[in-house]
Amino acid sequence: MVKLRHPIPTLEEFRTQLRRHGLRATRQRLLVHEAMMELVHASAEDVQILLFQRGTPVNTTTVYNILSQLADEHIYNRRPSGNNIMYFDVDPRRHLHLYDRENHTFRNVEDEQLSLLVAQQLKRRKFKGYTIEDLDIQIIAKPTRKKKKL
């Protein structure tokens, strides 16, 4: 497995992305991005909690609306989960994810060879009445170690 790291956009790069999409770099958008730089994959509630802990409270609805708008503009990506909570990914580029179905967490899995192999196989397949737009691979797993009881 080849491990590559996708860089998380700095605040200045994020400001540039916002301008490119005709969005203003508001204080709340910048605060949300700063939180996402640390969290990488997070729900609106995760971001809201981190912002509250930092002393900059922003309500969860506002955070969700900001994250959704950034996903709509392909600045972030959405990550559906098994607990019916929408998570967001600060890195919109194509990469694999390992989803921990017990703890509801995501980890990036950088494996360009596997992504290319699946993409090549899909090029050979036809799905009558459909056009493939993109490929999003999420590996669903559970931890192999049990947590120790206290």
Question: 17 and 89: one domain?
Answer: yes
Residue 117 half-sphere exposure toward CB, CA atoms < 13 A = 7
pLDDT tens, residue by residue, 8-54: 899 999 999 999 999 999 999 999 999 999 999 999 999 999 999 99
Hey, is 138 helix, strand or coil? Answer: strand
| Residue 1: inside a domain | no
Question: Is residue 37 one of the residues assigned to a domain?
Answer: yes
- Averaged pLDDT of the chain: 90
Task: Let me know if residue 52 belongs to a domain.
Answer: yes
Distance separating alpha carbons of residues 116 and 147, to the nearest angstrom? 36
Residues 14 and 81 both lie in one domain: yes
Please check the confidence at residue 4 and state whether its pLDDT lies above 80: no
Max CA separation in the chain (angstroms): 55
Q: Is 2 contained in some domain?
A: no
pLDDT at 147: 65
Kindly report the CATH number assigned to the domain that includes residue 108.
3.30.1490
The answer to whether position 101 is within a domain reads: yes
Q: CB neighbours of 148 closer than 8 A, spacing ≥ 6?
A: none
Same domain for 117 and 75 = no
Whole-model pTM: value is: 0.82
**Domain membership of residue 46 as a residue range:** 7-93
The structure tokens 């916002």 sit at: 18
Q: How many domains does the chain have?
A: 2
Does residue 33 come out as left (phi exceeding 0), alpha (psi in the -120 to 50 range) or beta? alpha
CATH number at residue 17: 1.10.10.10
